[in-house]
Amino acid sequence: MRKILFFLTFALMVLATWMTLFYAPTEVVMGHVQRIFYFHMGTVWAATVAFTVVFVASIYYLVKETAKWDTLAYCSAEIGMLLLTLTIITGSIWAKPVWGTWWTWDPQLTTTFILWVLYAVYLVLRSGAGGRGKKARYSAIFAIIAYVDLPVVYVSARIKRGISPVVFGPGGGGIDPAMMHTLLVTLLGFTLLFVLLLGERTRIMNMENQLYARGGRVG
Amino acid sequence: MGRGAFAIETRGLEKQFGFFPVLRGINLAVGQGEFLTIFGPNGAGKSTLLSILATFIKPGGGEVFVSGFDVSKEKQRIRKLIGFISHNTMLYENLTAWENLEFIGAFYDVPDFKNRCSDILERVELYGKKDALVSTLSFGTRQRLAIARTLLHDPQILFLDEPYSGLDYGGAAILTSILGSMKADKTVVMTTHNVYEGLSLCDNVAILDQGEVVYASAQKPAREEFQDIYMSCVRSGDGQ
Amino acid sequence: MRNILLIFRKDFLVEWRSKQIFPTMFVFSLLLLLVFNVAFEFRSDVDSRAVSAVIWITFIFSGLLALGRSFSLEKENNAFAFLLLTPVSRSYIYLGKLLSNTVMVLLSELFILPLFLLFFLFDADGASLSFTGTILPFLGVMVLGTIGFVSLGTFFSSMALNTKLRDMMLPLLVFPLIIPVVITSVGICSSILEGRPPDYYAFSLQVLVSFDIIFILLCSILFEYLIEDSGD
């Protein structure tokens, strides 16, 4: 099962890379730099999935108090942070030639930045909470509040009118079918990549826990 | 399985702190109106056991019933019935003796509340100090106030965690007399180091060591005899 | 409701006698005020946006500092642990504490506010302070914004104190979460100071009120899990 998932992810990511570079047509206004947008969308989508997994796993942890939900939440948050960092980097690379700036405080970017900060705090909280049960409980509570906070952050950030164009949504104009195919393949690829990473990370985490329970020291 | 038969019942109670097991399969049953004293060295799990019974912390595994209610699911119903006294007074320093009683007592249904407060303060010989801030009281006095506050709502089941440590002679005498007068109808579980105080009031005895019940008896053993039992049961600890 | 008021009364009394929040907030605010004045080179022609930002940064920084200190009182002697033994609903404990903290923080803010107006606004160009037009709406926003950051501040102060990092943890946890309060409160206050009609900031006001409601509800539900002791 792990092998199948690995090869499937590998094949899809190779396909996504090929489609991004060669299959998708060059965007008329932005030119080649627009191609990075597929990976940008892929990472931000997978990061969203990751943080939703953190949210759901945290609720389950509070109700059931079984360690596996805590492990799942933690591993998912780690991978989410990685993906979100990639989102911000690819977004900046795209924004420099198109908007003329690496960064601007428009609602989507502000929200993304705060999202990043919130999960950074989540990881700090985990390292600084104390005992195992307390760490799991506190971080689960923080994750739930943070997840609920995000839409409010987004709405309040929109009070100042933003400049972020809606690229693929309604009003974004017609989109070439080839572009759509590329986007869908990339999204699927990153989703599988996330699932793969999450599976591996939880496996390692469980092994660490077992070692620790036997009295061995880890890290 | 008669859930109502015992005032307190645990079946296979387990608790871990992190990966460290503190309680490993505790089976205990205390009948209505019985007085159980739990002895054991430091770190045996006595306080943890009492904290779980008093709904302070959650059990890790097994079943625990207090007055027939499950401690995992029916905490609020248990809380109405129990009282807890520990060596830590848990009083508000910046409130007066009276305010401390009034505040905590208000969360229970206590009939004729004001008179009850006065009576209980008389009982622990503190009525004259009812308007003194707790921060100005001596340790022994605070301990007596803590006892008064716990008895305010007339709890059916009383948990005592090392209640005698820190009490002065007068306080210990008051506590002993109160416990003695309650014995008839209240269920009491006490943990202690002190063999003399521990044995004088109890009906049942248990010894806890390394998270397990290593000795339990429904009869009160003689003091000299008990010393030997304790030494032979306890493998580790502070060797009293 | 009766239980919430009981806890409010007790918390308020304890707080009043120990005097943690008020002096902490007041002195810290004065210091911040001084720092901001120096940073602005003692000019009084600062625009309303900056004034609003300065006021809210001062309120939030000094407020959180005071809340952190205030909760450490509760931990003293474990009196809080005894409260948890009583059959009172954990949500009420949170709500009572929230009420008491809000009142204390608001009282402190009321003392600080005139100083700000004195230092920053009275000489400002075109700043006309009318009671119904400026002061009253301003106080209204102050209440709503304060409820917003105190709701999360109260909640997380009990968490932060139980972590290894203790007081350091509180601002870390709370600041990113209360961004909406900062954005809306500062925005509304500067609109008010500019003399704009209420329509102009109605949406911000809605967001602020929603924030308050959402997080008071969420925190009072989660408070039980927060203080539930798993033992380690």
**The predicted structure's pLDDT at residue C44:** 61
Quickly list DSSP for chain C: -HHHHHHHHHHHHHHHHHT-HHHHHHHHHHHHHHHHHHHTTT-S---HHHHHHHHHHHHHHHHHHHHHHHHHHHHGGGHHHHHHHSS--HHHHHHHHHHHHHHHHHHHHHHHHHHHIIIIITTSTT----IIIIIHHHHHHHHHHHHHHHHHHHHHHHHHTTSTTGGGHHHHHHHHHTHHHHHHHHHHHHHHHTT--HHHHHHHHHHHHHHHHHHHHHHHHHHHHHH-B---
Is the CB of residue A32 less than 8 Å away from at least one CB of chain C?
Answer: no
Tell me the pairing of strands B61-66 and B6-17: antiparallel
Tell me the pairing of strands B35-39 and B69-70: unpaired
Is the pLDDT at A106 greater than 70? The verdict is yes
**The predicted structure's pLDDT at residue C178:** 95
Candidates B51, B99, B103, B152, partner chain C, best to mutate (most C CBs within 10 A)? B103
Chain A residues touching chain B at CB-CB below 8 Å:
65, 131-133, 212-213
**Residue range A164-184: average pLDDT?**
66
Q: Which residue of B has its CA nearest to C77?
A: B90
Q: How confident is the model over C160-209, as pLDDT tens digits?
A: 888 888 778 899 999 999 999 999 999 999 888 888 888 888 889 999 99
Query: B89 vs chain C: nearest CA distance in angstroms?
Result: 7
**The predicted structure's pLDDT at residue C231:** 62
Q: Which residues is B61 bridged to in the sheet? A: B14
Better-scored residue on pLDDT, B218 or A76: A76
Q: Which residue of C has its CA nearest to B133?
A: C17
Instruction: Note whether A31 and A82 are within 8 A (CB).
Output: no
**The predicted structure's pLDDT at residue B17:** 78
- Residue B20, amino acid: F
Positive/negative CA dihedral, A93, A95, A100, A104:
negative
The CA distance from A191 to B80, in Å, is: 51
Length of chain C: 232
**Most confidently predicted of A160-169, B122-131, B215-224, C35-44:** B122-131
**The predicted structure's pLDDT at residue C123:** 55
**The predicted structure's pLDDT at residue A142:** 96
Better-scored residue on pLDDT, A86 or C115: A86
The CA distance from B28 to B95, in Å, is: 39
Chain B residues touching chain A at CB-CB below 8 Å:
17-19, 58
Better-scored residue on pLDDT, C118 or B115: B115
CB contact under 8 A, A131 and B18: yes
**Residue range B137-149: average pLDDT?**
86
**The predicted structure's pLDDT at residue A219:** 45
Query: A40 vs chain C: nearest CA distance in angstroms?
Result: 24
List of chain B residues whose C-beta atoms are within 8 Å of the C-beta of residue C17: 94-95, 133
- Residue A85, amino acid: T
**The predicted structure's pLDDT at residue B1:** 44
Tell me the pairing of strands B187-192 and B20-31: unpaired
Residue-wise over C90-125: b if at least 16 C-beta within 10 A, else e?
Answer: bbbbbbbbbbbbbbbbbebbeebbeebbebbbeebe
Quickly list DSSP for A106-163: -HHHHHHHHHHHHHHHHHHHHHHS-SHHHHHHHHHHHHHHHHHHHHHHHHHHTTSPP-
Is the pLDDT at B2 greater than 50? The verdict is no
List of chain B residues whose C-beta atoms are within 8 Å of the C-beta of residue C84: 56
Task: Please name the helix (run of DSSP H) or strand (run of DSSP E) that holds residue B63, with its range, or none.
Answer: strand B61-66
Torsion angle in degrees (nearest 10) through CA of A79, A84, A126, B90: -140
**The predicted structure's pLDDT at residue A125:** 93
Is the pLDDT at B4 greater than 80? The verdict is no
Q: Which positions 144-163 of A are in contact with C (Cβ < 8 Å)?
A: 144-146, 148-149, 152-153, 155-157, 159-160
**The predicted structure's pLDDT at residue B219:** 78
Is the pLDDT at A169 greater than 50? The verdict is no
The CA distance from C21 to B55, in Å, is: 32
Q: How is residue A151 written in tokens?
A: 């839409």
The CA distance from A34 to A99, in Å, is: 12
Q: Which positions 97-156 of C are in contact with A (Cβ < 8 Å)?
A: 152
**Contacts across the B-C interface (CB distance below 8 Å):** 76
The share of chain A scoring above pLDDT 70, in percent, equals 91
Is the pLDDT at A217 greater than 70? The verdict is no
CA C215 distance to own-chain centroid = 14
CB contact under 8 A, A137 and C225: yes
Better-scored residue on pLDDT, A208 or C95: C95
Q: Which residue of A has its CA nearest to C185?
A: A156
Where does the pLDDT of residue A218 fall: very low under 50, low under 70, confident under 90, or very high at 90 and above? very low
Instruction: Note whether A44 and A70 are within 8 A (CB).
Output: no
List of chain A residues whose C-beta atoms are within 8 Å of the C-beta of residue B18: 131-133
**The predicted structure's pLDDT at residue B239:** 43
**The predicted structure's pLDDT at residue A179:** 86
Of B17, B19, B58, which is closest to A212 when you measure between CB atoms?
B19
- What is the SS3 assignment for A189? helix
CB contact under 8 A, B94 and C82: no
The CA distance from A208 to C106, in Å, is: 48
List of chain B residues whose C-beta atoms are within 8 Å of the C-beta of residue A212: 19
Is the pLDDT at A215 greater than 80? The verdict is no
Is the pLDDT at B125 greater than 80? The verdict is yes
Where does the pLDDT of residue C230 fall: very low under 50, low under 70, confident under 90, or very high at 90 and above? low
**Residue range A153-182: average pLDDT?**
67
Instruction: Note whether B220 and B203 are within 8 A (CB).
Output: yes
- What is the SS3 assignment for A174? coil
Length of chain B: 240
CB contact under 8 A, B18 and A132: yes
